[in-house]
Amino acid sequence: MSQRVYNFGAGPAMLPTEVLEEVQQEMLDYQGHGASIIEISHRAPPFLEILEETEELFRRLSGLGSSHALFFMHGGAQMQFSAVPLNLIARKERQTAVYLITGKWGVLAEKEARKFGSTEIAVDGKSFDYRKIPAWQGTLNPETSYVHLTSNNTLYGTQWQKYPETGEIPLVSDSTSDILSRKVDYSRFGLVYAGLQKNLGPSGLALVLIRKDLLGLALPQTPKLLDYQLADEQRSLANTTSVFSIYVTLKMLRWMEKQGGVAVMEQRNQEKSQLLYEVLDGSEFYHAVANPGDRSICNVTFHLPDDKKENNFLEQSLKEGLYALKGHRDVGGIRASIYNSMPLEGVQALADFMRDFEGREG
């Protein structure tokens, strides 16, 4: 088998080797059932136990209480761009939602919401090329159905440091790229959703946390599989769910707990990101994308002086086992995604490589 690389890809992202090894070991025979988990009914006890433990463990790790329902839905994060307005826009008669746009995913979420109601854009980071999170102290019309933001902007490496106060109006967060990467009081949100493929497991599903009083508000045309109330009532099993994704997510959550939980994840993510920001701040050669006050602990983004140097950087880093560092096509440059599974040694190897590269080519 070829040696495993340090995978800095933004998602699907790397998973801990021990999680993958366990999956590998169980593939022919899941706990004496003589079949793998992906060959067993999603309604049979082995999977129902997995589903139950996944929910319990997420609640324990995140501190989420019984005020919120928790379930999985198909279609990754972008399906939630449709599900959110379908389920929440009718909360108020005006059927208007406010979007705080701090990057491309927010742009797409707002565009989708416009199909089902009206939207207002209260914050738009476009004029800053999304390098910073604009301050927002605006007032909200009390007849607003919800306020939507993206907690971590995967492409640019910015992250909300302090969430806005929206009073009675439910705050909705696309937390795809920073779920469980730091301590967050999720109970203050009306709704949180996250595609699994960065901090939790394989791609394809989204985890949804919703305050229970917000269930049952879906527009009549809401497709069955996007209806939050039904997803809650059916405990993620309105149809055949992605058994494999939830099975791996449980292993990932167990791994996080074994490491010491979210507080330890946060401390490590701070430490890892700091290593890279230190290199960037001490250099005239590298240029960080994100405004210092809005920097993400999950995605670190930067440019080199020109395309040729960036290409050399990517080529040479790959030879050192530092994989998938190319920035998103909208931003260019380099992006190091350093989610929970990325070990400190991987980030240290990247920081060392950056210093060496600057020494050679700077």
Ligand X SMILES: Cc1ncc(COP(=O)(O)O)c(C=O)c1O
Assign 289 to helix, strand or coil. coil
Query: Please, are residues 100 and 114 in contact by the beta-carbon 8 Å criterion?
Result: no
Beta strand 96-101 with 147-150 is parallel
Using CB under 6 A as the binding rule, whether residue 174 contacts ligand X is answered as yes
78 near ligand X, rule: CB under 6 A:
yes
Token look-up 């074994």 returns 258
Residue 84 C-beta: closest distance to ligand X, Å: 12
Instruction: Specify the pairing of strand 147-150 against strand 68-74.
Output: unpaired
Least distance in angstroms from the C-beta of 301 to ligand X: 13
Q: Are 334 and 301 in contact (CB under 8 A)?
A: yes
Point out the catalytic residue in the list 198, 251, 272, 326.
198
Interacting residue with ligand X among 195, 202, 333, 346 (CB under 6 A): 195
Alpha-helix residue ranges (DSSP H) falling in 151-242: 228-233
Q: In whole angstroms, what is the distance from residue 24 CA to residue 333 CA?
A: 35
Indicate if 105 belongs to the active site: yes
Between CA 103 and CA 356 the distance in angstroms is 32
Is 83 near ligand X (CB under 6 A)? no
Instruction: Kindly tell me which of 50 and 77 has the beta carbon lying closer to ligand X.
Output: 77
CB of 79 to ligand X, least distance (A): 7
* Strand order from edge to edge, sheet including 205-211: 68-74, 205-211, 191-195, 171-174, 147-150, 96-101, 118-124
Contact between 227 and ligand X by CB under 6 A: the answer reads no
177, 222, 241, 245: which one binds ligand X (CB under 6 A): 177
Q: Does 105 bind ligand X (CB under 6 A)?
A: yes
Span of 86-94, 173-181, 219-227, 344-352 interacting with ligand X by CB under 6 A = 173-181
- Closer CB to ligand X, 176 or 245, in the complex: 176
Told to check if 173 binds ligand X by CB under 6 A, we report no
**Residue 9 in contact with ligand X, rule: CB under 6 A:** no
Stretch that binds ligand X, among 21-29, 90-98, 172-180, 330-338 (CB under 6 A): 172-180
Say whether residue 150 binds ligand X (CB under 6 A): yes
Strands across the sheet containing 287-288: 287-288, 299-303, 334-337
* Residue 11 in contact with ligand X, rule: CB under 6 A: yes
Under the binding rule (CB under 6 A), the answer on residue 299 touching ligand X is no
Strand partners of residue 301: 335
- The answer to whether 77 contacts ligand X (rule: CB under 6 A) is yes
Alpha helix positions (H), the chain: 17-26, 45-62, 76-88, 104-113, 228-233, 243-259, 262-281, 307-319, 344-361
CA distances (Å), 218 to each of 16, 88, 92, 110, 227, in order?
38, 6, 12, 18, 7
313 interacts with ligand X by CB under 6 A: no
Q: Determine the interface stretch with ligand X among 53-61, 75-83, 283-291, 319-327 (rule: CB under 6 A).
A: 75-83
Least distance in Å: CB of 163 to ligand X?
A: 15
Residue tagged active-site, from 104, 132, 174, 272: 174
Nearest to 47 by CA among 227, 261, 249, 254: 249
Tell me whether residue 212 is one of the annotated catalytic residues.
Answer: no
154 interacts with ligand X by CB under 6 A = yes
176 binds ligand X (CB under 6 A): yes
**Candidate residues 9, 16, 76, 125; the one interacting with ligand X per rule CB under 6 A:** 76
- In the residue annotation, 227 being an active-site residue is answered as no
Whether the CB-CB separation of 166 and 138 falls below 8 Å is answered with no
Residue 102, interface with ligand X (CB under 6 A)? Answer: no
Cα distance from N-terminal residue to C-terminal residue, the chain: 36
Q: Does 157 bind ligand X (CB under 6 A)?
A: no
Residues annotated catalytic, as ranges: 105, 174, 198
For ligand X, the binding residues (CB under 6 A) are 10-11, 76-78, 105, 150, 154, 174, 176-177, 195, 203
